[in-house]
Amino acid sequence: MKVALLTSGGIAPCLSASIGRLANQYYNQYSDVEIIGYLHGYKGLLLGKSINIEKDSNFDRLYSFGGTPIGNSRVKLTNHEDCIKNGYIQKGQNPLEVAANQLKEDQIDILHTIGGDDTNTTAGDLVSYLDANNYKLTVVGLPKTIDNDVYPLSLTLGAMTAAQETAHFFKNIVNENTTSSRQLIIHEVMGRNCGWLTAKSASIYLSDLSDKLFLPELDVVKDKWKIHAVYIPELNIDMDKELKRLNQVMDKYDCVNIFLSEGAGIDNIIDDMNNKGISIPKDAFGHIRLDEINPGQWFAKKFKEELNADKVLVQKSGYFARSAPSSDKDLDIIFKTVDVAIQNATRGVSGVAGIDEENNNQLCCVDFKRIKGGKPFDIKLDWFVDMIKTIGQIG
What one-character-per-residue DSSP string does 99-116 give? HHHHHHHTT-SEEEEEES
Dist CA 144 CA 158 (whole Å): 6
Dist CA 242 CA 258 (whole Å): 12
Residues sharing a CB contact under 8 Å with residue 395, sequence separation 6 or more, in sequence order: 235, 236, 237, 238, 388
The stretches of 106-195 forming alpha helices (DSSP H) are 117-132, 159-173
Count Cβ atoms below 10 Å from residue 107 Cβ, excluding itself: 9
Count Cβ atoms below 10 Å from residue 275 Cβ, excluding itself: 8
* Largest Cα span, the chain: 76
Please tell me what DSSP assigns to residue 193. S
If residue 37 lies in a helix (H) or strand (E), which one and from where to where? strand 34-38
Residues acting as catalytic residues = 147
Specify the pairing of strand 351-356 against strand 362-366: antiparallel
Angle between the 266-275 and 295-306 helix axes, to the nearest 10 degrees? 70
Inter-residue contact 46 to 33 (CB < 8 Å): no
Torsion angles phi and psi, residue 11, rounded to 5: -75, 160
Dist CA 151 CA 117 (whole Å): 8
Dist CA 202 CA 204 (whole Å): 5
Dist CA 322 CA 133 (whole Å): 38
Inter-residue contact 124 to 334 (CB < 8 Å): no
Going 232 to 233 to 235 to 240, the CA torsion angle's sign is positive
